[in-house]
Structure 1
């Protein structure tokens, strides 16, 4: 083998080694491996909570598109829109030439996700189920974006905020909570939803945690039988300011219900409590304060 040939082979091997080291692989929330040959430079978000995660992870300058209601931070409002959680604009997505698409599995139609797969663009499925998953998502997205320094810092701040709330409230006397998603029909959330995790963080107990599915329909009689000490719902946030608030006041027709008797009917900004993104720490703080208020309103001798 001649010296020039040996040199060429050596160079090729070095290049291959560098490329191998540059490849980035993380596991998304479905358990699938997502591999990029280099940090993503053109990213599309297909859910508002994903948009928040990407910005928090340091990817704001890399974003080229997002779905409707991606309104936080303020810069996200200027991103080109590629549809919403019901219908995606596939032609617009193709035209934006993404090198990474971050998807909300349960919020985006399966048929359209199948079409997206045909583009052969790497997709990361974001589906945080627990409070701690938000920090994990930040770290993974930071790896894919090449912004680990900012992402890791954001994850550390979020973990600190959650740990502070957990230390202060998780061991407080339990409060039975009915989380009302909607009133007609009457809907709630079971123990697999992140909001149930928030309730537990605050020392609360989701009275319908054992029901299925994730968003079960319940009867008024079931709520009366559970007799929650607090009833909580999401108020319209900046995302959907014109969405009507589930009518908590209707529960006043049952004055013997503990939540009504103690005036523990609470509404929290939906943008803070519903999105599995860093701002859920703010929603959790408000819920913890509300449940602490409920404790303070207990009648003498009440548990």
Structure 2
């Protein structure tokens, strides 16, 4: 069992930290809104701290799951940042979906302080976090990764080191590229089925057992058909992720025409007032 800290108790971070506590790890939490940290401690035990630095003090591993690059810099750097409170030899594990650039920047800063940094974005969404079955893709030093992998197993069904710092974030970008195209294809397929007078339920029941089958079809096909989008991974978050990977594509020369087009479609959904709808709401712009 390890002494750990967890920074950021949003829809992903709170259940992830809860799984760590349930496995017997000693968990100290920090959240920008202190009331959330207090509520988490009442539910799971452990302790909460007023700053990332205090939360990180004496922790073997410090986990974070915050919003974006700037949020990540905010909880790691500066006088009250986690790096200032961490002991030499300890490891910072970042579950934020952020840029590969900030992962490399913070890995270099951590290394200069005698710390290790693992970029470890996740896939599986809120349900995956709550059920402890996330997929974690990591970048960083192999020895540091080997130390954190057994602890990450508290909320992951798959975890793999993908390469040096930034590789975890780059792998998450591949994940989002693939999802963007799948969701758009599924939206168009269901829209077509409706216009053709077919039973969407029957269509999905048949084609999901063949080559067209996917996680998106199994988990989002029915809600697309009914127009239910008040759950899941928000369009605003997906646009953030698409912005990150399109920027990276411009840097490395990758051609991403479908991702760029789907990003524009999500912008239309935002203008429809769907910024907090699930990403499956792509079908809404076809049916308006």
TM-score normalised per structure 2? 0.37
- Give the helix-richer structure, 1 or 2: 2
Higher Cα Rg: structure 1 or 2?
Answer: 1
